[in-house]
Amino acid sequence: MPKKLAAGNWKMNGTSASQTEVTALCGGIEQVSCDVLLCPPATLVAPMASWAAGSTLSVGGQDCHANATGAHTGDISAPMLADAGASHVILGHSERRADHGETDDLVRAKTQAAHAAGLIAVVCVGETEEERDAGRALDVVGAQIAGSLPGGVTGANTVIAYEPVWAIGTGRTPTLDQIGEMHDFMRDVLARQLGDQGRELRLLYGGSVKPGNAAEIFAVPNVDGALVGGASLRAADFLGIIRALDAA
């Protein structure tokens, strides 16, 4: 299996003053064995790649367009992210699906574009509170996985991040049993869809992951890391999560 992965999604946060936190993070991960990724806003991808030079920190984007070039004002393509120093890109995050109406078909096209540019796609899936209350959580996530992944997916070019929408930024987390049920389900779905490669994809949990609850989440089978939001903005907090993952 690939190394476990701690990924941070800065969302619409961060300026050049954030270099202090990135420098502290780079120093703090020198001795850890898991992979560490930060995905800042697009304005910081190139600077962060420069700040992280010589360290084991990887840098990614938070979205990309499905086309490599074109008349798409305000959008950023996968080749542009790669040119700026990114190695990964987050795709299909629930905030993109909800705020921008992104469909599984669009996420699949973006994932294909990311692969073509040599980027590792971190594809996000997750159910809303209403869907979970209706008993549809597994069906929803299964459909998102089936619809969002193009051909050619491997454990080397794709990561799946499960983020229950109702747990993102709310301080709420599913029970460990709920996390385990979903991650086991996703592993089975991917194995059926992709064969051996489906067993190689890293499955991240995301949604109010903090240093205080990280160790128990990482002890759940088929949880191969985390996609962390607010707690990744400060090096001290993110390092607490990274160390918990490294010890898992």
Asked whether the predicted pLDDT for residue 1 surpasses 80, the reply is no
Catalytic site residue from 21, 95, 131, 163: 163
Share of the chain above pLDDT 90, in %: 95
Q: What is the torsional sign of CA 149, 151, 152, 154? A: positive
What does the pLDDT read at residue 2? 83
**How far is 23 from 52, CA to CA, in rounded Å?**
7
pLDDT band at 170 (very low <50, low <70, confident <90, very high): confident
Average pLDDT, the chain: 96
**DSSP annotation string for 123-179:** EEE---HHHHHTT-HHHHHHHHHHHH--TT--TTTEEEEE--GGGTTTS----HHHH
Task: Let me know: does 34 contact 1? Beta carbons within 8 Å.
Answer: no
Domain limits, the chain: 87-243
Active site residue 129: no
Cα–Cα distance list, 12 to 23, 108, 132, 193 (Å): 20, 23, 28, 34
CATH number of 87-243: 3.20.20.70
Neighbours of 159 (CB within 10 A): 25
Among the listed residues 95, 91, 93, the one whose alpha carbon sits nearest the alpha carbon of residue 111: 91
Asked whether the predicted pLDDT for residue 167 surpasses 90, the reply is no
**How far is 134 from 201, CA to CA, in rounded Å?**
28
Among the listed residues 199, 176, 173, 177, the one whose alpha carbon sits nearest the alpha carbon of residue 186: 199
Active site residue 115: no
pTM: 0.97
pLDDT band at 224 (very low <50, low <70, confident <90, very high): very high
- Longest Cα–Cα distance of the chain, Å, equals 49
**How far is 87 from 78, CA to CA, in rounded Å?**
10
Task: List helix spans (H) across the chain.
Answer: 19-28, 45-51, 78-84, 94-99, 104-116, 129-133, 137-148, 176-194, 211-218, 235-247
Catalytic site residue from 65, 88, 93, 183: 93
Instruction: Return the DSSP state at 5.
Output: E
